[in-house]
Structure 1
Amino acid sequence: MFPKPRPELFPNTFEYESLPMVKPTGFREYDARWLFEKEINLMGMQALGMGIGTLIHERGVRPDIAVGHDFRGYSSSIKMAVVNGLLAAGVNVHDIGLALSPMAYFAQFALDVPAVAMITASHNDNGWTGVKMGIDRPLTFGPDEMGRLREIVLDAAYDLKGGGSYRFVDGFPDIYFKDLTDRPKLKRPIKVVAACGNGTAGAFAPKILEAVGAEVIPLDTELDHTFPRYNPNPEDMQMLHALRDKVLETGADVGLGFDGDGDRCGVVDNEGEEIFADKVGVMLARDISALHPNCQFVVDVKSTGLFNTDPVLRANGARTDYYKTGHSYIKRRVTDLDAIVGFEKSGHYFFNKPIGRGYDDGLVSAIAILDMLDRNPGKSMADLRRDLPKTWGSPTMSPKCADEIKYDVVERVVSKFHEMKDRGETIAGHEITDLITVNGVRVVSSDGTWGLVRASSNKPELVVVVESPVSEERLHEMFKAVDGILRENPEVGEYNQTL
C-alpha cells in the first residue's frame, strides 16, 4: 500500500526519500502548484499521478491521457514521477515530451485522448512546479475536480488497478506546427518581435510565426531554465519593457511576448506602448464581431469595462459576460455560452470555433493579432489602440498573502465594501454604485472608476487591478483607497509591482 502523504518533510532525511510529501495548499482552484522540494517531493508527484488516475476511473472516463512537460530543469523528472503514478492506476500514457501547455491540450484532439496532464509552473518563478489537467476536452479541472483530487491524494484513497501502458509520441511538435500553419499566409509582411523570456515558447513561437508569413525578430528565445533576464510573464512590466525597447530599436510592427508555457501572449505596439491584454481583447473583439455580428464574448472580472461600453462592439451587436478569473473558469464559461472568444486580462484568450478549439493558446492568439493587422492594412497597431475609447488602467498588482489566509482576507475586504455601500460611504470621494462579487470584489464608483481585489488562484498573493475612464489622477485615487482598505489587514504584504 502506498503511504499516506505528509504535509511537511525535511530534505536530506530518510523520511523525505521514503515517503510522499504533499502540502495541501498546492491543490488550488483549477490546477496544482507547489514549490518543488519544499512543498512536494517526487513521491508526492507520484501520489498525484495515482490520484489523477483514480479520478479518471471514478468519473468513468476512458483511461488514456496525454502528458507533457515545460522547459525547467526538474520538469522532466517530475513528469515521470506523475507517469509512474498514472501507470499504477491503470492509465494509458501518451507522452508528447517537451511541450507548451496548448500543445498538450491540442494532443487531446490530435491523438483522440480524453484526458491531459501538463507538467508546468506556467509563469511562476523558478522553484515552482505544477500540473494543468483535465478529463473533458477542451475543459480543465475546476474546483469540484480539484477538491475531489485533493481528497483522494491526501487520504491515499487510490484505486491502483495496474496494467497501464506508456508510449512516447515521436515528432508531436511537427503535428502541432502543421495544425497552426496549414493556412493562407499573411497578405503583407508584418515585422514581429517575438519575446519568450528563455521559456519553452522559444522552441516553437519564432518558427510558427515565420511560417504564417511574419518577419520575426527573436528576443530571448534561447531555452534557459534559469530565466537569466526576467521571468517569462507578459503581465510583468520587466518583460514588457524589454519587448518595448526591441520594438523601438528594430522598427517592428508589433511585439508579442509569450509566457513560460506558451498559453498567453502579451502585446507592445509599433510605438512602444505596452497594451494590457484586456485592451488587446477589445481590439480583437471589434475585429471578430465585424466578421461575426451579434456574437458572444466572455471576459474576466479583472478586464476593462470597455467590453460593455465600446460603441463599435455595441454597433456590431456583441454581447459580453463578465465572469470569474482563471483559465479553467473562463474556458468552461466559453463552452457553456458557446461564446466565440473568452478574454482574460492575464493574456489567456480562448478562441472557440471557427477560430480555435476552446482552449488557451498564445500562438493562436498571436496569429489572431497578425490577422487583425492584415485585415487593416491602412492602420498600425498603435492606430488600432488609439481607436479605442481612452481609459487609464493598472497592471495586475499582487501583494503577498499566505495561501492559508488569503481567502479570509478577501472575505473581510468584501464585507468592508458592503458595509461602506450600505452606510452610503464613498470610495475615493465618489459614490459606490456597484459591487461585483463573482470573484473577490470589483467596487465601481459613480464616474465608472473601479478597483478589484481577489485572491490569486496559483500563488500566495492577492490580486489588485484598477481602471478609470476619467483620468490618471482618478486611477491613482482609486488605488490609494483600495490599498488603504487592504492595509487594514496585517497579513497583506508588499506588492510585486504598483502604479
Structure 2
Amino acid sequence: MTSSHVFHPTILRAYDIRGIVGETLFEADARALGAAFGTLVRRDGGKVVCVGYDGRVSSPALEAALVEGLVSTGVGVRRVGRGPTPMLYFAVKTTGADAGIMVTGSHNPPTHNGFKMLFQSRPVFGDDIRTLGTLAATGDLETGDGTVETVDLQDAYVERLLADFTHPEASGLRVAWDAGNGAAGEIMSRLAARLPGQHRLMFAEIDGTFPNHHPDPTEPENLEDLRRAVATDKAHVGIAFDGDGDRIGLIDGDGRILWGDQLLMLLARDILATRPGATVIADVKASQTLFDEVERLGGQPLMWKTGHSLIKVKMLETGAPLAGEMSGHLFLADRYYGFDDALYAAVRLLDLIAALPGFDLAAVHRALPSAINTPELRFPCAEERKFAVIDEVAARLKAGGATFSDVDGVRVRNAHGWWLLRASNTQAVLVARCEGATGADLDALKADLTAHLREAGLDLPS
C-alpha cells in the first residue's frame, strides 16, 4: 500500500483518533492508519502489533480494514478479538508484541468510533499522531507481506485480574455491576462468577447501540440504574464501566458516588502502607483533599496534566505506583502493569472493601476528607481563542502576585480554596472547577473566577 491518504482534519486528536462513522471516519481511514502505524513500528525496529476492538456496530469492519493496512507494511498482526481496551493493553504486555491498536469509540455516542494506540509501553499521542497523518498523506510507507494470527486471551486476562483478590472468604459481600452494554460486559460477567459473594449483573450483553443508558460513569444520570440496584439488593458497592472498560464509576451502599479522586485516596492508603514515600499522581481537576491526604500518608503527591496519555508518560518518568484522573481512569503500577484498567481497579477496590468490617464502604466514604466543590464546568470558547484566554488570565494572576500552578491551565490557591481554568485538548471549550471548605468560600472562589473570565470577555455558565 503506497497510495497517499488524507484524514479528515477533525479526527486526529490529542490522545487518539476519533470520528463519526460515515461522516468523518471511514474504513479507508482505518486501512491508511494501519499502513502508517505499521510503517512507524517497522522503522523503529518493531515486528508485531496486537489489535482489538470494542462492541460498536462499526468496529468489526474498521478492525478488518486496520489489519489489512498493517499487514501491507510487513508487520505481524495478533488479533485479540472483541473486548475491553485494557485487554488489548494486556495482550501487548504479555505476548511480547511491540505495539497495539484498539478500535474503540470509548464512551462517545454509538455513531462515533476511533483508535487508541500504544508502542513499546508508551501511549501514542500528540506529535506521534501528527506523524501518522504525515506518513499517510505523503504515501511514505513501508511495504511487505505481513502475517495474521488470532489469539484468545480472555482466560489469561481474567486469571490475571483475579490474582490480586485476596479475600476468598468474603461470602457475604454484595455487589451490583453495570457494564452499560459496553465492551467490558463479558469479562465483567466472568469476574463476578469467580468472586465470592452475591453479584447482580446489569447490561452485561455487549450491544453497540447502548440501549439502556450511555456508558459514561462520570455522569450521575448514567448511574441511576446502578443506584436503584444497590438500594434494592442492599449491596455494599455498585461498580460501573465506560464503553471500553478503561474508566470506572463506584457507588457506596448509601447510593453516594465516589469520584475519581476519592477512589485514589482509598487506593493510596493501601499502596502507601507498603510503599512509603511513593509518588501518587492526579490530574489538576482533583480535590486538594487528595493531595493533602497523600502527603499525610507519607506519599509524594504530584499534580499533573489531564489526559490519560499524559498521565501514563508521567508515571513512567517518575516510577509512580498509582495515578488517576477525575474522569475515572485509574492507573496501577503496584503489582500490575501501570495502564488504565477499570476491571483491575474494580478487583483491587473490592479487595479493600472485603477487608472492611461489615464490608461497609459507605462508612469509609463518610469519613474521607471532604470539601465543597462545583462539578466540572464546560463552556464554549473558539479553538483559536481558548489557549490565549488561559495565557491572559495567567499573566494577570502573575502581575497580581497570586499563588497558582500552570501545569495545565491555571489552578489558583487562596485563603478560600482553589479554582481551575484550563483549555480542553479535545474540544473547543474551557473547563473550570472550584473548591472551598464552606459554601461562602465556594461563592468567593466562583466570584474570583468569574471576574477573571469577564476580563477576558467571557461569562461563566450558570
| Matched-pair contact (CA < 8 Å) for 1:254–1:270 | yes
For the structure 1 residues 222 and 478, does the alpha-carbon distance in structure 2 shift closer, same or farther, using more than 3 Å as the test? farther
SS of 1:266's equivalent in the other structure is: strand
Tell me the distance in 1 between the aligned counterparts of 2:241 and 2:266.
19
**1:352-391 superposed matches below 5 A:** 352-354=333-335, 356-377=336-357, 380-391=360-371
The answer to whether 1:409 aligns with 2:409 is no
Please name the residue that 1:162 is paired with: 144
SS of 1:261's equivalent in the other structure is: coil
The answer to whether 1:187 aligns with 2:169 is yes
Q: Structure 1 residue 193: deviation in Å?
A: 1.1
The answer to whether 1:236 aligns with 2:216 is no
Please name the residue that 1:28 is paired with: 13
Please name the residue that 1:429 is paired with: none
Q: Structure 1 residue 164: deviation in Å?
A: 0.4
Please name the residue that 1:51 is paired with: 36
One-letter identity of the residue aligned with 1:470:
A
The answer to whether 1:175 aligns with 2:156 is yes
The superposition leaves residues 48-81 of structure 1 with CA deviations (integer Å, 9 ceiling, x where unpaired) of 1111011112222x22011000000000100111
Please name the residue that 1:227 is paired with: 210
Please name the residue that 1:421 is paired with: 397
Structure 2's unaligned 5+ residue stretches are: none
| Matched-pair contact (CA < 8 Å) for 1:235–1:395 | no
Please name the residue that 1:449 is paired with: 418
For the structure 1 residues 121 and 91, does the alpha-carbon distance in structure 2 shift closer, same or farther, using more than 3 Å as the test? same
Q: Structure 1 residue 485: deviation in Å?
A: 5.6
Please name the residue that 2:107 is paired with: 123
Please name the residue that 1:141 is paired with: 124
2:431 to 456, 460, 464: 464
Tell me the distance in 1 between the aligned counterparts of 2:14 and 2:196.
39
2:327 to 342, 346, 358: 346
TM-score normalised over the length of structure 2 = 0.92
For the structure 1 residues 409 and 141, does the alpha-carbon distance in structure 2 shift closer, same or farther, using more than 3 Å as the test? same
Tell me the distance in 1 between the aligned counterparts of 2:458 and 2:297.
46
For the structure 1 residues 385 and 339, does the alpha-carbon distance in structure 2 shift closer, same or farther, using more than 3 Å as the test? same
SS of 1:464's equivalent in the other structure is: strand
Q: Structure 1 residue 379: deviation in Å?
A: 6.1
Q: What is the count of residue pairs matched by the alignment? A: 460
| Matched-pair contact (CA < 8 Å) for 1:440–1:455 | no
1:88 to 45, 52, 72: 72
TM-score normalised over the length of structure 1 = 0.86
One-letter identity of the residue aligned with 1:72:
R
For the structure 1 residues 472 and 248, does the alpha-carbon distance in structure 2 shift closer, same or farther, using more than 3 Å as the test? farther
One-letter identity of the residue aligned with 1:451:
L
Tell me the distance in 2 between the aligned counterparts of 1:247 and 1:399.
33
**1:282-321 superposed matches below 5 A:** 282-310=265-293, 313-321=294-302
Q: Structure 1 residue 368: deviation in Å?
A: 1.3
Please name the residue that 1:74 is paired with: 58
| Matched-pair contact (CA < 8 Å) for 1:390–1:469 | no
**1:393-404 superposed matches below 5 A:** 393-400=373-380
Q: Structure 1 residue 196: deviation in Å?
A: 1.3
| Matched-pair contact (CA < 8 Å) for 2:54–2:83 | yes
| Matched-pair contact (CA < 8 Å) for 2:271–2:334 | no
For the structure 1 residues 410 and 444, does the alpha-carbon distance in structure 2 shift closer, same or farther, using more than 3 Å as the test? farther
SS of 1:449's equivalent in the other structure is: strand
Tell me the distance in 2 between the aligned counterparts of 1:392 and 1:241.
22
Please name the residue that 2:406 is paired with: 437
Q: Structure 1 residue 218: deviation in Å?
A: 1.5
For the structure 1 residues 29 and 450, does the alpha-carbon distance in structure 2 shift closer, same or farther, using more than 3 Å as the test? same
The superposition leaves residues 232-252 of structure 1 with CA deviations (integer Å, 9 ceiling, x where unpaired) of 011112112332222122211
| Matched-pair contact (CA < 8 Å) for 1:410–1:440 | no
SS of 1:450's equivalent in the other structure is: strand
| Matched-pair contact (CA < 8 Å) for 1:454–1:462 | yes
Please name the residue that 1:17 is paired with: none
One-letter identity of the residue aligned with 1:164:
G
For the structure 1 residues 270 and 472, does the alpha-carbon distance in structure 2 shift closer, same or farther, using more than 3 Å as the test? farther
Tell me the distance in 1 between the aligned counterparts of 2:67 and 2:442.
48
Q: Structure 1 residue 394: deviation in Å?
A: 3.4
| Matched-pair contact (CA < 8 Å) for 1:466–1:475 | no
Tell me the distance in 1 between the aligned counterparts of 2:377 and 2:223.
15
Taking every aligned residue pair, what percent have the same amino acid on both sides?
A: 29
For the structure 1 residues 222 and 391, does the alpha-carbon distance in structure 2 shift closer, same or farther, using more than 3 Å as the test? same
Please name the residue that 2:318 is paired with: 337
SS of 1:217's equivalent in the other structure is: strand
Structure 1's unaligned 5+ residue stretches are: 7-21, 425-431
Q: Structure 1 residue 181: deviation in Å?
A: 2.1
For the structure 1 residues 474 and 222, does the alpha-carbon distance in structure 2 shift closer, same or farther, using more than 3 Å as the test? farther
| Matched-pair contact (CA < 8 Å) for 1:444–1:451 | no
Q: Structure 1 residue 479: deviation in Å?
A: 4.7
| Matched-pair contact (CA < 8 Å) for 1:206–1:216 | no
For the structure 1 residues 451 and 283, does the alpha-carbon distance in structure 2 shift closer, same or farther, using more than 3 Å as the test? same
Q: Structure 1 residue 463: deviation in Å?
A: 5.4
Deviates more, 1:321-330 or 1:432-441: 432-441
Q: Structure 1 residue 99: deviation in Å?
A: 1.3
Deviates more, 1:299-308 or 1:79-88: 299-308
| Matched-pair contact (CA < 8 Å) for 1:24–1:150 | no
Q: Structure 1 residue 484: deviation in Å?
A: 7.0
For the structure 1 residues 156 and 437, does the alpha-carbon distance in structure 2 shift closer, same or farther, using more than 3 Å as the test? farther
Q: Structure 1 residue 213: deviation in Å?
A: 2.1
Please name the residue that 1:4 is paired with: 4
SS of 1:40's equivalent in the other structure is: coil
SS of 1:336's equivalent in the other structure is: helix
| Matched-pair contact (CA < 8 Å) for 1:235–1:346 | yes
Tell me the distance in 2 between the aligned counterparts of 1:453 and 1:416.
12
